[in-house]
Structure 1
Amino acid sequence: MPVKTAFELVIRNQIDFIFNHKDEFLFLEQFSNSPLIQNLCLEDHSWRFQPLFELLNRGKEQQLIKHCDPMLLLVLISAPITGLAKLHFNGEFELNEKISVI
């Protein structure tokens, strides 16, 4: 699958998860910003992101993605989506199928 298509799929899947699992998304957002998570997450979970890291590496090899830290890239990809979703759930922004975020 081309890199651009794969990223569009990743983003669309993230949006679908957020809207189909609102309560879980809001819980994860709140919990991930809590200092408690540092005490509970004792094992390394970076392997879960391996497919995304591989996709980023493919994009870098094809010179479609800037060469920088992969975690920085993942944050830059996901933060705008989660930000828009939170605005939507707070009634501050209408996010629907007519608005293209990809």
Structure 2
Amino acid sequence: MTNSPLPDKWCLDESSALFQPLNDLFEEGQKQKLSKQAGVGLLITYCMYPVMRLVKERFKGETQIDGSPLKIMLQMSWDAVKA
């Protein structure tokens, strides 16, 4: 569902509250100069897409989410958004 355009049209008002803590986290990171000064949505995309991709692969039985793959994915996500 995260790759679908449906949430934009479908239930954005209902689901936006679920993502507010994540938005707040990124806004605070920007205030503290920890993350890039880009749009919060863009930062979230660069952090969340790798996580969602790895989870999808895990559910398909294509990979394990532990050890080295997890550490590499987390580091790459952080590298994409850090200031």
Distance 1:92 1:48, change over 3 A: closer
- Structure 2 unpaired stretches of 5+: 75-83
Q: Percent identity?
A: 28
Task: Find the counterpart in structure 2 of residue 20 from structure 1.
Answer: none
| Cα displacement string for residues 14-68 of structure 1 (whole angstroms, at most 9, x for unaligned residues) | xxxxxxxxxxxxxxx38x6264873x42736434322222211221122110011
Task: Find the counterpart in structure 1 of residue 50 from structure 2.
Answer: 80
Task: Find the counterpart in structure 2 of residue 33 from structure 1.
Answer: 4
Matched, 1:49 2:19: yes
| Cα displacement string for residues 67-96 of structure 1 (whole angstroms, at most 9, x for unaligned residues) | 111111111111101101111222222222
SS of residue paired to 2:37? coil
- Structure 1 unpaired stretches of 5+: 1-28
2:34 to 64, 76, 79: 64
Distance 1:58 1:86, change over 3 A: same
AA aligned to 1:95 is I
AA aligned to 2:62 is E
- Higher-Rg structure is 1
- How high is the TM-score relative to the length of structure 2? 0.61
User: Following TM superposition, where does structure 1 have runs of at least 4 consecutive aligned residues deviating by more than 6 angstroms?
Assistant: none
